[in-house]
Structure 1
């Protein structure tokens, strides 16, 4: 009897679970079928989005590749790819309602196991830090940002978390004194006061980034001439050619019953990454935000979920999903340096550059799409 695994989300966690099940579990269960549902027909390597906004730095195929072709090596009856979005999940009937793209209408998918890996989205859809919609929508956002970056003389990056720091650094590294790059930190220090704050501040200062601390944005208003007026809570106003907010991520969890979510709308999971209050429903990636959203954590979580589904199909109990034993933070500061730590231990700038900043991981994109990473 066919066992159907429905995976929602076509990014790091979702694609990782789908490939692992098809490569390692299906040989033992020939009737296994994986259905992957993704709003985006392409895998968007959003780690590189901070560099993709700089015109001429990356080609599209370096950060965006079609998902479906990566699964072509599996038997046709073992995999189905649906470009669409989950609308509702019925955990009693074990069904998912999906709206498909291109006006094809709705489908109701039945599952034996469901994997929720729909991640998070940028609250402001005008920025490219996440794939907020379809491939076409994401490509259009990036093209618009690149065009504006070309002509802008004054750029404001709002939000001084890792994404904001990296975006400001990429722009300043590329343009130096040609353009003014301002970074607004709502907190008294960048990176939320992390122990890396002073190191990263020093790197940004070398690049000429103008850092505004305790500068929380109240609102941003587009002016008739195309510029943006940024009003800070202090009352200060900054007029800029390009406004890039990096704060504000929301989980893509609206399709799930409210009682399965935390107070912040992330999915509530147990130590096995099984969704609490359900049977045969699992979650991984930024959608669980445990302990935070992270590329490395998403991959480890995906591996754990795939393993537990494999065990469940064999009638065995799940195992605790283990990720990484310490809190790791690497922040690239342009294309030559960076700041990072492994737990409380800071690492050399060159190490951060070699591990992250040099390529932002884009060399791994093909192996994620075709499954050879696992």
Structure 2
């Protein structure tokens, strides 16, 4: 009897799990079928979104790669790609409803893994994938055009995305344009130990930082500019406003009983949804850890894959372990970066080589094709 494993989400975690199941588990589990459900038929390397908004720096194919061709290597009938948005997960009926171009479809499953991630509060800039490939690409190109013509830019939020955006824009335009980074905290990066180094790098690039003040709203002006309101009552008129704050889990389709009070999937030490032995979740969608960076999500996905394989073989679950050491790398433009391994601060050149030089875009084809695993 066929064992259906449904993977919801076509980004870093979802593709890793789907490819590993087909490449490493299918040979011994001949009745396995993997169904991948995703809104977009392209993998979006959103790690590079901060650089992709700078006109002329990255080509589209360096940020997007098609998903389906990578699965053509597996036996016919073992894989199905469903292009659509998950609309309802019925955990008790073991069924996932998906809205596709041809209508609503119900997909039964034996096991399911949820990797639909999260989105930023503002949908204007696709720091993360929010829709179809065409929608994400159009949004990136639209922002790039606005960046090209803007002489004054305000970036709200001093987390990694905000700092890296400021760095990319400062590297390209800091000498002749005004770029302001607004931080609600008195330090960048939530007060991380590399905060001062990051601020120093941005200063070198000509980026101005406004700390201890929050962007509370924005309004379009009649002349095409944006009025940004700050928490101290100040108003800034800018050519381009780029908010990076507020992470919202893409969990609207999931049974409320699987979620915590903040709408994230509550998972146990095996990264199973609490109360269900056939549902797993990982990445930005889960309740812990607080910061689900790319390496953390990658590690979680590897652990979840092993647990799905164990369930298929009737073996016990294993605790999904986190990173052996906490790593934070922050690019500050195409020429510099800062970061740390645990409590050890990295030289800028080392951090640049690890992340800032390419933002790992060379890994995109490997993830899309499955050759990474």
Q: How high is the TM-score relative to the length of structure 2?
A: 0.98
Query: Match of 1:161?
Result: 159
Contact 1:51 1:170 in 2 (8 A): yes
1:239-270 deviations in Å (ceiling 9; x for gaps): 10000000011000111111211121111001
Pick the aligned partner of 2:239 from 235, 238, 241: 241
Question: 256-265 vs 231-240, which deviates more?
Answer: 256-265
Q: Secondary structure at the match of 1:219?
A: strand
Question: What does residue range 201-350 of structure 1 map to in structure 2 within 5 Å?
Answer: 201-291=199-289, 292-350=291-349
Query: Which residue matches 2:176?
Result: 178
Tell me, in whole angstroms, the C-alpha distance in 2 between the residues paired with 1:280 and 1:184: 43
Superposed CA offset, 1:210-261 (max 9, x none): 0000120111111111110000010011110000000011000111111211
Is the 2:43–2:67 contact (alpha carbons within 8 Å) kept by the matching residues of 1?
Answer: yes
Q: Give the SS at the match of 2:175.
A: helix
- Stretches of structure 2 lacking an aligned partner (at least 5 in a row): none
Question: Is this contact kept in 1: 2:260–2:287, CA < 8 A?
Answer: no
Deviation (angstroms), 1:289: 4.9
Distance in 2 (CA, whole Å) between partners of 1:143 and 1:313 is: 43
Structure 1 outlier segments of 4+, above 2 Å: none
Find the counterpart in structure 2 of residue 195 from structure 1: 193
Q: Distance in 1 between matches of 2:278 and 2:32?
A: 15
SS for the counterpart of 1:341 is strand
Task: State the Cα distance separating 1:290 from its structure 2 match.
Answer: 2.5
Give how far 1:50 is off: 0.2
Distance 1:89 1:172 in 2: 44
Look up the match of 2:22: 22
2:150 is aligned, of 149, 152, 157, to: 152
Q: CA deviation at 1:122?
A: 1.6
Aligned to 1:62: 62
Which residue of the partner structure matches residue 77 of structure 2?
Answer: 77
Asked whether the equivalents of residues 267 and 287 of structure 2 are also in contact (C-alpha less than 8 Å), the reply is no
Deviations 1:311-333, CA, capped at 9 Å, x for gaps: 11111110011131222110000
Query: Partner of 1:110 in structure 2?
Result: 108
Distance in 1, Cα, partners of 2:181 & 2:164: 10
CA contact 1:122–1:132 (8 Å) conserved in 2: no
Of 132, 135, 144, the residue aligned with 1:134 is 132
* 1:75-124 Cα distance to aligned partner (Å, 9 max, x none): 12011111111111111111001111x3x001100001000000001211
Per-residue deviation at 1:33?
0.6
Q: Partners in 1 of 2:43 and 2:72 — Cα distance?
A: 15
* Structure 1, 174-183 or 145-154: larger mean CA deviation: 174-183
Size of the alignment, in residue pairs? 372
Residues 289/362 of structure 1: CA separation in 2 closer, same or farther (3 Å cut)? farther
SS of residue paired to 2:148: helix
Q: How far apart in 1 are the matches of 2:32 and 2:89?
A: 21
Coordinate RMSD, CA, aligned: 0.9
Any stretches of 5+ residues in structure 1 without a counterpart?
none
How far is 1:288 from its partner? 1.0
Instruction: Please give the secondary structure, in 2, of the residue aligned with 1:137.
Output: helix
CA distance in 1, matches of 2:59, 2:116: 26
| Alignment partners' CA distance in 2, 1:128 and 1:181 | 20
- 1:357 aligns with 356
Aligned partner of residue 93 in structure 1, secondary structure: coil
Aligned to 2:52: 52
Q: Secondary structure at the match of 1:77?
A: coil
Task: Name the structure 2 match of 1:41.
Answer: 41
Q: Deviations over 1:281-329 (max 9, x none)?
A: 0001111152122111111111111111111111111001113122211
Scaled by the length of structure 1, what TM-score is found?
0.98
Please tell me whether the aligned partners of residues 168 and 333 of structure 2 are also in contact (alpha carbons under 8 angstroms).
yes
Contact 2:42 2:67 in 1 (8 A): yes
The secondary structure found in structure 2 opposite 1:157 is strand
Aligned equivalents of 1:22, 1:370: Cα separation in 2: 12
Does the CA-based 8 Å contact 2:266-2:287 persist in structure 1?
A: no
